[in-house]
Amino acid sequence: MIYKFILRPVLFLFPAETVHHWVMSFLRVCGKIPGMTSLIRGIFNVAHPGLNRTIAGLTFPNPVGLAAGFDKDALAFEELGALGFGFIEIGTVTPLAQEGNPLPRLFRLPADKALINRMGFNNQGVEAVVSRLKKRSGKVIIGGNIGKNKMTPNDAAVNDYLACFRSLFPVVDYFVINISSPNTPGLRELQEKEPLLRLLQSIQDENSTNTRPKPLFLKIAPDLTLTQIDDIIEITIECNLSGLIISNTTISREGLKTGNDELAQIGAGGLSGLPIFQKSTELVKYVAGKADKRFAIIASGGIFSPADARAKLAAGADLVQLYTGFIYEGPGLVRQINKALVNG
C-alpha cells in the first residue's frame, strides 16, 4: 500500500531508467549495512515447504522468480533475493560490454500497466558479471541469460553464446538462451528452425563436456506463429533442453489504452506488462499441452497479482517470473503471491 499510493506516484514523476538506477543503487547500499539484508528477508520472505519446486534438478525455495533485464549486471542479486524471490535471472549478458540503444529507451504506459523498452542488451560484459557472481553466498538460485553482441552477425552468433556460456558456467545455476529480444537487429531470425537447432545443439554439446551439465532454457517471443512454436517444441525435445521461458516482450500494440500519438512518439521496442498476460498465458497452455511434461515451462508476462500467477501455473507453468508487475505493484507482490500459494 505504501509503495502503490506513496512511493510509486513519486517515482513515476521521473524517467523510468533513471528510477531503475536509483533503485539498484539503494539496494546495493542496503546490502552494505550490517543486518539490513536479513531484516529485508524477514519482512518479505515466505518460507514454507509447500512452496518448494524441483525443476531440472534444481530445488527452488518458491516458484516466483525475477526475470532477466532487472539486474543485467549482477549488481544486487543478493539484495533482490532477500525480497523473497525463489530465483534471480541476471542479464542479458553479452561477451563484450555494450551501451545499448540511445536514450530514452524505457517508457511507462500507466494506462495499460505496461512498459515499452528498446534497451538493446546494454550490459558491462560477461567478465564484469562473472567477477561479481564469484562473490555470491549461494543463498539464491541464479540464472544466466545470455545473448550476442549487436555487431556480431547471426552466422557467428554461436561464438558469442558459447563465450558467455563458458565464462558463466562456474557461477550460475542454469542458463537461458535469449534469441527473442526485439531490440537487437536480426536476433529473432535465430528463432527459425535451422539456425535455432544449430545454435542450441552447439551449446548443448559444450554443456555435455562438463561433469555436471547445467539446465538450459530457451526464451521465446509471444509473436511466433503456431508452426514456429511447434518447431521450437520439437527442437527443445531434440536438444534435450530443460525447458522454455514463455515469453519475452511483444512488438504488437494491439488493444492498448495509450493513445496512438503517444505510442508513435515512443517508437519501437518490446511491450511488457498486463497487455501481454492473456497472449503469453495462452501460449503457455498451448506449449504445455504439446510438451506433455517432457520439459519445464517458466511463465513470464503480465503477472500483477496472486491470481495472475495462479493462472500461469494452472495453464501448465512450473515456475513464474516477474518484471513489469514488480515495478508497478512493488516488492510486496512476491510475498503476496507466495502467501496465496501456501494458503491454497
Q: Which residue of the set 181, 247, 272, 280 is catalytic?
A: 181
Q: How long a stretch of residues is the chain?
A: 344
**Beta-strand relationship, 58-60 and 53-55:** antiparallel
Q: Which residues sit opposite 277 in a β-bridge? A: none
Annotate 86-135 with DSSP letters as a single string: SEEEEEEE-SS-B--SPSP-EEEEGGGTEEEE---S-B--HHHHHHHHTT
**Dihedral (Cα; 94, 96, 97, 98), 10-degree rounding:** -80
Peptide bond into 247 cis (omega under 30): yes
Task: Specify whether 181 is catalytic.
Answer: yes
Peptide bond into 92 cis (omega under 30): yes
One-letter amino acid of 151: M
Residue at grid coordinates 533482490 = 80
Q: Tell me what percent of the chain is helix, strand and coil, each rounded to the nearest 5.
A: 45, 15, 35
Residue 167, Cβ neighbours under 10 Å: how many?
Answer: 20
Residue 291, Cβ neighbours under 10 Å: how many?
Answer: 17
C-alpha cell at 157: 552468433
- Tell me the catalytic residues: 181
